[in-house]
């Protein structure tokens, strides 16, 4: 069994914030893969289903971001999971928008949700880092992540969500390379082999030779300009 955790803040006012991209990711997985309806449990919202051959629990902590670890720790202990069975989807300001990377263990880099999870289950869990870009100055980070995605970002955000959903079975089976490839195919799809080829440049056709024309090549050339 795997536990996929999406990080965010509860409530309609936060639902489209950059900080809530983790919630968006697990919501998309639940919707596309026929997971059970969300129910309140473990200080969060829980949904269960299967991805490939793996049983997966999806969790959205409703403790607010800074206390996310309380919910994750409670769920992990109930299902008797190890921290390495946990994968956390979260916003990442150090990655460009639409960029996605996976990471196992390591520091929390100042992310308050990850800091809380570190405290409750240890740093030894997997993360899916979802790039949202950086506002340019550290003092602007709190307001930036707690603001909604711009309308101009809707297309790439939808592509990333579709890619996450496509690759979720690979992620559940531990194949991060195939998962990231699924995301990449949505964000930067390969050119179709059935696309129309570029037209070839036109070449001048040479008229058929007249066998009765006995002029020399030089005479023919001179006659063209007369």
Q: How far apart are CA 100 and CA 163, in angstroms?
A: 10
Q: How far apart are CA 5 and CA 213, in angstroms?
A: 85
Q: How far apart are CA 142 and CA 63, in angstroms?
A: 18
Contact 104, 21 (CB under 8 A): no
The 8-class DSSP code of residue 205 comes to P
According to DSSP, the β-strands at 86-92 and 2-6 are: parallel
Residue in this structure with the two tokens 């971001």, named with its chain if needed: 65
How far is Cα of residue 62 from the mean position of the Cα atoms in its chain?
23
**Beta-carbon-side half-sphere exposure of residue 140 (alpha carbons within 13 Å):** 7
Catalytic residue among 19, 33, 90, 118: 19
Beta bridge partners of 122: none
Verify whether residue 19 is a known catalytic residue: yes
Contact 88, 126 (CB under 8 A): yes
DSSP letter for each residue of 45-63: EEEEEEETTEEEEEEEE-S
Q: How far apart are CA 109 and CA 90, in angstroms?
A: 12
Give the residue numbers marked as catalytic.
Answer: 19
């Amino acid at each position: 069994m795997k536990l996929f955790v999406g990080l965010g803040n509860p409530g309609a006012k936060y639902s489209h914030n950059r900080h809530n991209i983790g919630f968006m990711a697990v919501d998309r997985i639940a919707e596309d893969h026929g997971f059970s309806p969300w129910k309140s449990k473990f200080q969060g919202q829980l949904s269960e289903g299967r991805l490939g051959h793996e049983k997966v629990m999806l969790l959205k902590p409703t403790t607010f971001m800074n206390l996310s670890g309380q919910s994750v720790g409670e769920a992990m202990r109930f299902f008797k999971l190890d921290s390495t069975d946990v994968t956390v989807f979260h916003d990442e300001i150090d990655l460009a928008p639409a960029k996605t990377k996976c990471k196992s263990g390591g520091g929390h880099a100042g992310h308050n949700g990850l800091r809380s999870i570190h405290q409750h289950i240890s740093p030894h869990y997997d993360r899916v880092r979802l790039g949202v870009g950086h506002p340019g100055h550290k003092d602007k980070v709190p307001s930036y992540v707690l603001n909604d995605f711009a309308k101009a970002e809707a297309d790439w955000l939808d592509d990333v969500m579709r890619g996450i959903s496509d690759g979720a079975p690979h992620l559940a089976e531990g194949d991060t390379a195939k998962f990231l490839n699924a995301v990449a195919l949505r964000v930067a799809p390969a050119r179709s082999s059935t696309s129309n080829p570029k037209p070839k440049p036109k070449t001048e056709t040479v008229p058929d030779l007249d066998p009765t024309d006995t002029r020399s090549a030089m005479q023919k050339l001179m006659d063209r300009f007369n």
